[in-house]
Structure 1
Amino acid sequence: MFRNKTKASILRSRPSLHQVKQTHARAVVSGHHGPSTLLHLLSLLSLSSPRYALSLFTSIPSPTVFAFNTLIRHFPPSLSLSFYSSMRRRFLSPNQHTFTFLLHSCTKHVNVNAGVQVHAHVIKFGYACHVFVRNALIHLYSECSRVGSSKRVFQEDTLCRDVVTWNSMLVALLRNGGIRCAEKLFGEMPERDVVSWSTMIMGYVQNGLFQDGLECFRDMREKGVRPNEAILVTLLSVSAQLGLLGYGRFVHSTIVDMRFPITVRIGAGLVDMYAKCGCVEEARTVFDGMVQRDVWTWNAMICGLASHDRAREALVLFRRFIDEGFVPGNVTFVGVLNACSRAGLVGEGRYYFKLMVDGYGIQPEMEHYGCMVDLLARTGLVHEAVRLIEGMAVAPDPVMWATLLEACKLYGFVEMGEKIGNRLIQLDPNHDGHYVQLAGIYANARKWEDVVRIRGLMNERIASKVAGWSLIEVLGGVHRFVAGDREHKDSSDIYKMLETIGLRIPEAGLLAVTS
C-alpha cells in the first residue's frame, strides 16, 4: 500500500530534494524499499542530487539496464562511460536508450573521441539503423564540427529517417556554413515541421541573407505552418535592421491572424520594428496595448521616440519607466541622451548624464559620450565637447572627432577644425569624408590653396573605395542600389526621373550650396 502511494505521489508532482529524501527514509523504515521504488527515487535524484543518486544506486543489489541508463543519462561522459563499462562487465546488454543517452552526454560536453567509441559499440550491437540513435549520432558530429561524419551517418540508410533526422542534418550543414547545401537538403525533405522552417530561416539570417529568410517565412505561411515565437522575433528584428516595413507588417498580420499572444518578446520586437521603420505612432500603439512590458520594451520605445525627434515624449516616458520601478541600463540612457541631443536640450543632457554615472553607477560607453558630444556640438559648445572627449575613460572613435569637425565647419572654428581634421586624417587616412569635411572648412574660410591641397591628398591616398549601397522596399520587393548603378532592370526610367527632379529643384527655388 505504502509503495504504491509513494510511487504515485512522486510521479504526480515535482518534489524537492528534501521531500525525496523524506520519502526514501519512510520507505526504508516501513520496509517498502524494493527495486521498483528505488528505481523511481533514483530517476528523480539523478536530476537534483547526483551524489545521493550514486549512493542510492550502490544500494541496489542487482541494478537493471534501466538503473544504469538513468545514471548514464544525467552524468558527464567520463562517468557515463564508466557506468556503461560496469554494465557490460555485469553482462547486461545495452538498449537503444543506453546509446542515445551516451551520445547525448558526449554531445553536451563536446567529447567527440568518446562519441566515436560509442559509435563503434552502436555498430557492434546492431543499433546503427535505429532512428533515435542515428539522430543522436548526427547531432553529436554536428556539435563537434564533424559535418562529414554527420553526412555519412545520414546517408548510410535512406529508409531509416524521420523529420528529426533531416532537421539534424540541416543544422549540421548550417553550422558548417553550407547555406546552399542546406537549401538543397531543405528542398529534398519529404516532410517539414516548424523546426525545419525555423532552422532554415535562422540559417539565412545568420548568413546575412535577410531577404531570403523573409521569403522563406512567406513560403512557410503559404503552406499553413504555424510559426513559433523564435521565428517571429527573429524576423521582426531583421525587418527592423533593414527598415523593411512591408515585411514587418506581414509578420505582424500573421501574429494577428493566428491570434498569437503578444508576449513580452514579440511586443518588444514589434515596437522596435515599427520605430526603426519610421512608424513611431504604430510603435506607440503596440507599446500602449501591451499587458506586460520588460526593460527592453521600454528601451525600444524610448529610443524610438528619441530617433524621431520626440524628445519630450521620450523623457516623459523615461520618468514613467522609473516610477513603475524599472532600473535603467546602458541602452536606456543611450535613448535618453539621444533625445536630449536631437532636441538641443543641453541642461537636461547634462543632468541625465550625471544621473547615469552618479545615480545608477553606469560607466559611460562610447554611445553615451557620442550623444553628449553631438549635443554640445549641435549647440555650438565645441570647446566643452573637446574637454569631454579629452577626459573620456576610453579612447574616442573617429566618429566623435568627425562630429566636432562638422560643428567647427558650421560655427566657423577654422583653427580648431584644422587641428581636428588633420588628426582625423591621421587616425583614418582611407576615409574620404574626413578630407571632404576639412576641405569644406578651408572653403568657408576662403583658403583655396588649402582646399586644393586637401583634395589632392585625398586623390593620392584613396585610390579605390568600396561603394556603399542603399536598400528600399517597393510593393513587397527589396531593391539594392549603388552610386552609378546601371544593373537594375528599371535603371533607364530611374535616371530619367532623376533628370526630371534635377530640373524641378531650381524651379522650386532651391539652390545647391557649392562652397
Structure 2
Amino acid sequence: MFGNKTKTLLQFHNHHQIITTKQFSFLSCLPKTPSLNQIKQTHANAVVSGLHGRTVSHILSLLLSLPTLPLPYCLSIFHSLSSPSLFAFNTIIRCHAKSPNHPSLSLSFYSLMRRRFPYLRPNQHTFTFLLHACSKANRVPVILAQGSLLHAHVIKFGFFPHVFVRNALIHMYFECSCRDSSKRVFDEDALLRDVVTWNSMIAGLMRNGDIVDAEKVFDEMPQRDVISWSSMIMGYVQNGNLEDGLECFRLMRERGVRPNEAALASALSASAMLGLLGYGRFIHSTIESLRLRVTIPVGTALVDMYAKCGCIEMSRFLFNRMAKKDVWTWNVMICGLASHDHAKEALELFQRFIGEGFRPVNVTFIGVLSACSKAGLVSEGRHYFRLMVDGYGIQPEMEHYGCMVDLLGRAGLIDEAVELIETMEVPPDPVLWATLLDACKVHGFVEMGERIGNKLLQLDPNHDGHYVQLAGIYAKARKWEDVVRVRRLMIERVNNKLAGWSLIEVDGRVHRFVLGDRDHEHSSDIYKLLETIGLRITEACHSAKHLTCFA
C-alpha cells in the first residue's frame, strides 16, 4: 500500500498512463509535506535507479505536483523531461499562474505545448489555469487580447460547457472591465452555473460599482453560501454603502450563516467608519459566541473599530492580547493612540514597532506625525518627517503635509508652514490652507490670515467654511466692514450647500436622517415625540423662570 501523498499524486496524474508499483516506491516514502532535500533525494534515486526514461519521466511529472516545490526547481525538472506529458505541462502552467511575479509565462508554456507537442490536447484544467494567469496581467489591453484568444481556444476544443472554465472566463473579463462580456458568458446557459459562477458575478459587479445589478444577481441565486454573503458585504463597504453592508451582515446572521474572515473584517470596518460602537460590539460578540478564530485581519479590524468608536482601552487590550500582528495591526494602534491624544504612548509604540523588525509605511508616519501634532511636539515632528523621507524613502503624501502644517500652525510657526506648503512636490490641497487659516485666527495673525483666506477663496470659491473662517478673523480684529463684505460674498457664491445628515443605531439597525426628513417609516411617530420633547423643554424653562421670580 502507498502513503496518502502517493495516492494524491495518483489522482492528479493522467489516467491514461500506466504507473507501476516499482515506479511509486520512490514516492511512497515521502512525508506529507516533504522538504526540498527529501524531494531532491527522491529525484536523485529515480535518476540513478536504472529505470528506463519513460518511467523516470512519469516519476518526475508527479514530483512537479508537490506543493512545497520551489518554482525554479520545478522548471529544472520540467526541462529535464524529453517528452513532457499534459499533466507536466498543466503543472508548470499552474505553478506560473500562481506566481506573483511571472504569471504571463503560463501562456508561453501553453504556446510551447501547442507548437512543439501538437499531439497533446489541452483539457479543462489547462484553460482554467491559463485564464487565471491571464487575469493577473498588469495592463488591461494585455488581459483582453490574451483572454479573448484563450476564449476562442476554449470554444475550439469544446470546453465551454465546463463550469470551471466558464467561471474563469467571467472572472477574466471582469478583470479587464468587460462587464458585458462577463454577463454574456454568465447568461449563455443558465443550466451551466454553480454557486461559484453566481459569486463571481456578484464580486465582479461590486468591483465595478454596479450595486443594483449585484443585488439582482444575489436575489436570484438558487442557493447562497458564505462567499455570496461576504461578497455583498465587502462590495457594499468598498462602495461606501456602509449601512447596507451592516444590514447585510445582520441578515446573514438571521439566516444562520456562519461569517467568514472577509465578512467580519468588512462589517467591523463599516462600524468603525460610522462610529457605531453598539454594532461593533454585536460583531465582536458574534465572534466570541461562535468561537470563531481571530485572524490577524479580524483582530486588526477589532482594534481599529474600538479605537475609532472611542474605546481606546478596549482597543489597547485586544492589541496586547493578539499573539501575531502585522504592519497594519501596529498602524491602527499607533493611529488610534494618536487620535485619543496619547502621543507619548503612540511614539513609544512606534519605537517598539521598529524594534520588532517591522518596516514603517506611509500610514505609520501619519499616526506618528498626528501624535506629534496633537501634543505640540515640534522638534519630534520635524525629526520623524525627515526620518520618513531620508531614512525610509517614503515620499510625503497630502496627509503627512497636513499633519506637519497642523503641528506648525498650532505652534504659531505660520511662516514655516507656508514655506512647507509652497515647496511641496504635489499641488497643495485647499484643506492645508484652511488649516493654516484657522491657526492664523487662533494666534491673531490678521494680515497673514487675510492673505491665506483670499487665496482659499480663489482655490475653492464654493466652500462656505472658508468664508466663515475669514470672517471670523476679521471679527476678531474688529474689522466689521470686512466681515459684512465676506458674508455677502458667501451668499453670492455659495448656492448649493449640501444638507448635513445624522444616523443612529437601534436594535441592530442603522437609521439615517437629514433635515426635514419625512421618508422614514416611523417619521410621524418621531415628529410627535419631538413635539412632546419640545413642550416639556418649554415647560421646564417656564418653571425655572417662575421659580426664579420667587427666589
TM-score, normalising length from structure 2? 0.78
Query: 1:42 — aligned with what?
Result: 61
Note the C-alpha offset of 1:203: 2.1
Q: Distance in 2 between matches of 1:232 and 1:394?
A: 37
Query: 1:121 — aligned with what?
Result: 156
Q: Which moved more, 1:169-178 or 1:252-261?
A: 169-178
Query: 1:206 — aligned with what?
Result: 238
Q: Which moved more, 1:130-139 or 1:297-306?
A: 130-139
**Aligned partner (choices 305, 311, 329) of residue 279 of structure 1:** 311
Note the C-alpha offset of 1:272: 0.8
Evaluate the alpha carbon distance shift between residue 368 and residue 85 of structure 1 in structure 2; reply closer, same or farther with a 3 A threshold. Answer: closer
Evaluate the alpha carbon distance shift between residue 15 and residue 426 of structure 1 in structure 2; reply closer, same or farther with a 3 A threshold. Answer: same
**Aligned partner (choices 431, 441, 448) of residue 399 of structure 1:** 431
Output the amino acid matched with 2:149. Answer: A
* 1:343-362 alignment, distance < 5 Å: 343-346=375-378, 348-350=380-382, 352-353=384-385, 356=388
Instruction: Decide whether the 8 Å contact of 1:106 with 1:112 is kept in 2.
Output: yes
Instruction: Decide whether the 8 Å contact of 2:89 with 2:109 is kept in 1.
Output: no
The alignment partner of 2:502 has SS state of: strand
Evaluate the alpha carbon distance shift between residue 356 and residue 209 of structure 1 in structure 2; reply closer, same or farther with a 3 A threshold. Answer: closer
Output the amino acid matched with 2:54. Answer: P
Q: Distance in 2 between matches of 1:498 and 1:340?
A: 44
Note the C-alpha offset of 1:382: 3.5
- Say whether residues 1:451 and 2:470 are aligned partners: no
Output the amino acid matched with 2:306. Answer: Y
**Aligned partner (choices 52, 55, 60) of residue 79 of structure 2:** 55
Note the C-alpha offset of 1:103: 4.6
Note the C-alpha offset of 1:283: 0.9
Instruction: Decide whether the 8 Å contact of 1:425 with 1:435 is kept in 2.
Output: yes
Output the amino acid matched with 1:56. Answer: S
Instruction: Decide whether the 8 Å contact of 1:340 with 1:375 is kept in 2.
Output: yes
**Aligned partner (choices 108, 112, 118) of residue 147 of structure 2:** 112
Note the C-alpha offset of 1:452: 1.9
Instruction: Decide whether the 8 Å contact of 1:344 with 1:375 is kept in 2.
Output: yes
Instruction: Decide whether the 8 Å contact of 1:276 with 1:304 is kept in 2.
Output: yes
Evaluate the alpha carbon distance shift between residue 368 and residue 188 of structure 1 in structure 2; reply closer, same or farther with a 3 A threshold. Answer: closer
Q: Distance in 2 between matches of 1:354 and 1:154?
A: 53
The alignment partner of 1:225 has SS state of: coil
Note the C-alpha offset of 1:284: 1.6
- Say whether residues 1:188 and 2:220 are aligned partners: yes
Q: Which moved more, 1:454-463 or 1:45-54?
A: 45-54
Q: Which moved more, 1:454-463 or 1:4-13?
A: 4-13
TM-score, normalising length from structure 1? 0.83
Query: 1:4 — aligned with what?
Result: 24
Q: Distance in 2 between matches of 1:485 and 1:423?
A: 37
Evaluate the alpha carbon distance shift between residue 5 and residue 269 of structure 1 in structure 2; reply closer, same or farther with a 3 A threshold. Answer: same
Instruction: Decide whether the 8 Å contact of 1:2 with 1:32 is kept in 2.
Output: no
Output the amino acid matched with 1:263. Answer: T
Evaluate the alpha carbon distance shift between residue 33 and residue 183 of structure 1 in structure 2; reply closer, same or farther with a 3 A threshold. Answer: farther
Query: 1:76 — aligned with what?
Result: 106
Instruction: Decide whether the 8 Å contact of 1:42 with 1:56 is kept in 2.
Output: no
Query: 2:289 — aligned with what?
Result: 257
Note the C-alpha offset of 1:381: 4.0
Evaluate the alpha carbon distance shift between residue 508 and residue 31 of structure 1 in structure 2; reply closer, same or farther with a 3 A threshold. Answer: farther
The alignment partner of 1:7 has SS state of: coil
Give the gaps of 5 or more residues in structure 2.
Answer: 1-20, 66-70, 96-104, 138-142, 546-551
Output the amino acid matched with 2:366. Answer: V
Instruction: Decide whether the 8 Å contact of 2:27 with 2:42 is kept in 1.
Output: no
Instruction: Decide whether the 8 Å contact of 1:442 with 1:450 is kept in 2.
Output: yes
Q: Distance in 2 between matches of 1:26 and 1:251?
A: 55
Output the amino acid matched with 2:215. Answer: E
Note the C-alpha offset of 1:198: 1.7
**Aligned partner (choices 405, 409, 416) of residue 373 of structure 1:** 405
Instruction: Decide whether the 8 Å contact of 1:106 with 1:114 is kept in 2.
Output: no
Query: 2:13 — aligned with what?
Result: none
Q: Which moved more, 1:355-364 or 1:252-261?
A: 355-364
Output the amino acid matched with 2:113. Answer: F
Output the amino acid matched with 2:24. Answer: N
Output the amino acid matched with 2:284. Answer: H
Evaluate the alpha carbon distance shift between residue 344 and residue 495 of structure 1 in structure 2; reply closer, same or farther with a 3 A threshold. Answer: farther
Query: 1:303 — aligned with what?
Result: 335
The alignment partner of 1:473 has SS state of: strand
Note the C-alpha offset of 1:131: 3.4
Output the amino acid matched with 1:4. Answer: F
Q: Distance in 2 between matches of 1:376 and 1:178?
A: 44
Instruction: Decide whether the 8 Å contact of 2:405 with 2:435 is kept in 1.
Output: yes
- Say whether residues 1:415 and 2:447 are aligned partners: yes
Please report the RMSD computed on the Cα atoms of aligned residues, expressed in angstroms. 3.6
Q: Distance in 2 between matches of 1:14 and 1:363?
A: 44
Evaluate the alpha carbon distance shift between residue 341 and residue 156 of structure 1 in structure 2; reply closer, same or farther with a 3 A threshold. Answer: closer
Q: Which moved more, 1:380-389 or 1:352-361?
A: 352-361
Query: 2:100 — aligned with what?
Result: none
Evaluate the alpha carbon distance shift between residue 351 and residue 54 of structure 1 in structure 2; reply closer, same or farther with a 3 A threshold. Answer: closer
Q: Distance in 1 between matches of 2:411 and 2:538?
A: 33
Q: Distance in 1 between matches of 2:54 and 2:331?
A: 56
**Aligned partner (choices 252, 264, 280) of residue 248 of structure 1:** 280
Note the C-alpha offset of 1:457: 1.7
Q: Distance in 1 between matches of 2:92 and 2:122?
A: 13
Output the amino acid matched with 2:321. Answer: G
Query: 2:200 — aligned with what?
Result: 168
Note the C-alpha offset of 1:275: 0.7
Task: Tell me which stretches of 4 or more aligned residues in structure 1 moved more than 6 Å.
Answer: 498-509
Q: Distance in 2 between matches of 1:392 and 1:27?
A: 64
The alignment partner of 1:190 has SS state of: coil
The alignment partner of 1:292 has SS state of: coil
Output the amino acid matched with 1:112. Answer: G
Q: Distance in 1 between matches of 2:352 and 2:542?
A: 48
Q: Which moved more, 1:498-507 or 1:75-84?
A: 498-507
Output the amino acid matched with 1:114. Answer: L
The alignment partner of 1:76 has SS state of: helix
Instruction: Decide whether the 8 Å contact of 1:271 with 1:284 is kept in 2.
Output: yes
Instruction: Decide whether the 8 Å contact of 1:27 with 1:33 is kept in 2.
Output: no
The alignment partner of 2:325 has SS state of: coil
Evaluate the alpha carbon distance shift between residue 165 and residue 374 of structure 1 in structure 2; reply closer, same or farther with a 3 A threshold. Answer: closer
Q: Distance in 2 between matches of 1:128 and 1:53?
A: 32
Q: Which moved more, 1:496-505 or 1:64-73?
A: 496-505
Evaluate the alpha carbon distance shift between residue 350 and residue 78 of structure 1 in structure 2; reply closer, same or farther with a 3 A threshold. Answer: closer
Note the C-alpha offset of 1:338: 2.1
The alignment partner of 2:510 has SS state of: strand
